[in-house]
C-alpha cells in the first residue's frame, strides 16, 4: 500500500459550423455572537539538524465513489551538515507519522496509526541532497468525508526528538473550476470530470501549463439560435491545436446555455466533425444549441459570468469577417479553483 520514492541528489480547427450564487440575505437586527478564533497552527521544527517537509498545497477530488486516492509526498533533508547518517524505513508510515485536522476544528488533531513493519536502512545525506518518500492512500487512515479544507503535517523521529513539517493545506472538493479573465470581464467554468474525465483533465492540464494564457477568442457567433464564442487556437485563427488530439467522449450533457465543449476539425468532404480530433480549441454557448448535441463533447458549464460570455459574443466584428472580433479578446489570465 505504501511506496517509497528513490533518493534524489541534487484543435481544433473549426467547430461545426448556472446562474451566479445568490447573495446572502442582509443581516437582521439581531446581533450574532462573534465566533471564537481558530487556534493557530504551529510552524514546523527541525531536530538535530534534520528537517522534514511536505509538498503542497494538496488538492484531492471527491466523487460518487468516494475520495480519489490521496497520496502525500514528504522530503527529509539535513541542515548545516556536510554529511549525516539518517535512519529510515522501507515503510513510509513507520518512518513518519501524519497528523490531520479540519480547518474548522484545528484543535482536534488526528494521528495516523503507525505500522512498524518494514526494513530499516541508512541514507547518508548532506545539505545539498535529500530523501523523497510518499505515503499513499491516506484516506484509509483519516476521515475526510466532511470535505472542505484540512491541514496535514508530518512528524519524523530523530533519536529522542522529532522533526515536524509545516502544516500544509489539503482541500477535499468535488468541483474543479477555471476562471478566465478577459478585457470584457471574467467567467468561471465548472469542469465536468464526472461526465468527461479525459477531456476535462486535458483542459485542466493545458490551463495549468499556461497554454491558454494570452490566446484569443478568435471566433464569435451572434446569430439567432446560434450564439457562442470559441478560443484556444495558438495561431489565433482557428487552424491550430496543442500538437496532439484526444479521444472523443460520449456523454449525456447537452448544449445548454453556458455549455463548454471541445471544438473539432471538420471533414473537408462532408463538413462533418471528426470525433477524435479534439485538442485545445473549445467553445462556450450563450444559449441552447441542440443541433450540436452528440456531435461534440460537452465537458463543462459556465457557473459564474455568463453575462460576460454573452458580452464577448456581441462585440463588434470585422466587416469582411463577421465572426472575427474587430479588437483582440485575449484570455489574459486563467485561475484554477477547487470548490465543494
pLDDT tens track for 32-58: 556 667 888 999 999 999 999 998 888
What residues are paired with 179 via a beta bridge?
188, 335
Question: What pLDDT is attached to residue 39?
Answer: 82
Q: Which range, of 144-153, 213-222, 319-328, averages the lowest pLDDT? A: 144-153
Question: What pLDDT is attached to residue 146?
Answer: 86
Q: Name the strand (E) or helix (H) holding 226.
A: strand 226-231
Question: What pLDDT is attached to residue 14?
Answer: 39
Regarding pTM above 0.85, the answer is no
Residue 58's nearest CA partner among 167, 163, 200 is 167
Question: What pLDDT is attached to residue 64?
Answer: 58
Question: What pLDDT is attached to residue 19?
Answer: 36
From start to end of 58-145, where are the E strands? 58-63, 66-67, 72-78, 84-89, 96-102, 110-111, 120-125, 130-135
**Above 70 in pLDDT, residue 265?**
yes
Taking only the tens place, the pLDDT of each residue in 308-337 is 999 999 999 999 999 999 999 999 999 999
Question: What pLDDT is attached to residue 65?
Answer: 55
Q: Is 53:183 a contact under the CB 8 Å cutoff? A: no
Q: Which range, of 17-31, 62-76, 149-163, 219-233, averages the lowest pLDDT? A: 17-31
| CA dist list (Å): 199 to 38, 235, 282, 305, 315 | 39, 21, 11, 22, 29
| Chain mean pLDDT for the chain | 87
Can you tell me the mean pLDDT for 71-79? 94
Amino acid at each position: 500500500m505504501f511506496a517509497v520514492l528513490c533518493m534524489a541528489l541534487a484543435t481544433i480547427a473549426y467547430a461545426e459550423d448556472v446562474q451566479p450564487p445568490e447573495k446572502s440575505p442582509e443581516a437582521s437586527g439581531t446581533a450574532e455572537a462573534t465566533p471564537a478564533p481558530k487556534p493557530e497552527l504551529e510552524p514546523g521544527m527541525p531536530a538535530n539538524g534534520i528537517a522534514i517537509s511536505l509538498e503542497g498545497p494538496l488538492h484531492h477530488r471527491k466523487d460518487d465513489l468516494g475520495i480519489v486516492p490521496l497520496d502525500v509526498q514528504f522530503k527529509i533533508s539535513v541542515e548545516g551538515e556536510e554529511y549525516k547518517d539518517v535512519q529510515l524505513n522501507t515503510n513510509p508510515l513507520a518512518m513518519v507519522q501524519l497528523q490531520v485536522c479540519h480547518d474548522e476544528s484545528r484543535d482536534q488533531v488526528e494521528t495516523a496509526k503507525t505500522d512498524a513493519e518494514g526494513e530499516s536502512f541508512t541514507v547518508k545525506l548532506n545539505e545539498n541532497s535529500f530523501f523523497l518518500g510518499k505515503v499513499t492512500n491516506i484516506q484509509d487512515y483519516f476521515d475526510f468525508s466532511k470535505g472542505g479544507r484540512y491541514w496535514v503535517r508530518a512528524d519524523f523521529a530523530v533519536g529522542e526528538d522529532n522533526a515536524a513539517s509545516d502544516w500544509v493545506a489539503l482541500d477535499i472538493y468535488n468541483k474543479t473550476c477555471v476562471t478566465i479573465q478577459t478585457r470584457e470581464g471574467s467567467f468561471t467554468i465548472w469542469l465536468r470530470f464526472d461526465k468527461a474525465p479525459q477531456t476535462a483533465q486535458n483542459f485542466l492540464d493545458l490551463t495549468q501549463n499556461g497554454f491558454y494564457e494570452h490566446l484569443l477568442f478568435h471566433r464569435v457567433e451572434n446569430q439567432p439560435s446560434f450564439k457562442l464564442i470559441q478560443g484556444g487556437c495558438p495561431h489565433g485563427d482557428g487552424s491550430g491545436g496543442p500538437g496532439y488530439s484526444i479521444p472523443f467522449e460520449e456523454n449525456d450533457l447537452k448544449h445548454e446555455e453556458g455549455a463548454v465543449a471541445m471544438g473539432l476539425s471538420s471533414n473537408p468532404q462532408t463538413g462533418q466533425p471528426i470525433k477524435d480530433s479534439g485538442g485545445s480549441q473549445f467553445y462556450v454557448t450563450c444559449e441552447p444549441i441542440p443541433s450540436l448535441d452528440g456531435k461534440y463533447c460537452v465537458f463543462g458549464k459556465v457557473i459564474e459570468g455568463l453575462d460576460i460570455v454573452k458580452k464577448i459574443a456581441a462585440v463588434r466584428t470585422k466587416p469582411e469577417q463577421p465572426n472575427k472580433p474587430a479588437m483582440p479578446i485575449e484570455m489574459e489570465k486563467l485561475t484554477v479553483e477547487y470548490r465543494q
